[in-house]
Amino acid sequence: MAHIHTSAPHSGTGFFHNVGSAILNFFTAIAESNSRMREAERLNAMSDQELARIGLKREDIARHVFRDMYYV
């Protein structure tokens, strides 16, 4: 699960604060429901030995999960 923490010098309950919060919550929900994120979380929960068995290193998880979207 992705955790996002934001802080602002002054937060309030004004219109722009509410709109910003709604947008942030929307994109957070999209990211968390994305099947690629679930796959990354599943792989990240594996031990280093389990990852080695399938030919991955922990630092290569994101590259592996997003390999067809991003050319890194």
Q: Is residue 72 part of a domain?
A: yes
pLDDT at position 13, please? 72
Tally of CB atoms within 10 A around 9 = 4
**Per-residue pLDDT band at 5 (split at 50, 70, 90):** low
Task: Name the region of 55 (left: φ>0; alpha: ψ -120 to 50; beta: rest).
Answer: left
Nearest to 43 by CA among 66, 70, 26: 66
Give me the number of domains the chain comprises. 1
- For the entire predicted model, the pTM comes to 0.53
For 38-59, the pLDDT digits (tens) are: 899 999 999 999 999 999 999 9
Q: Is residue 20 part of a domain?
A: no
Q: Is residue 39 part of a domain?
A: yes
Q: Is residue 60 part of a domain?
A: yes
Q: Is residue 49 part of a domain?
A: yes
Q: Is residue 25 part of a domain?
A: no
Q: Which two tokens stand for residue 22?
A: 């709604």
Domain that holds residue 52: 35-72
Q: Is residue 50 part of a domain?
A: yes
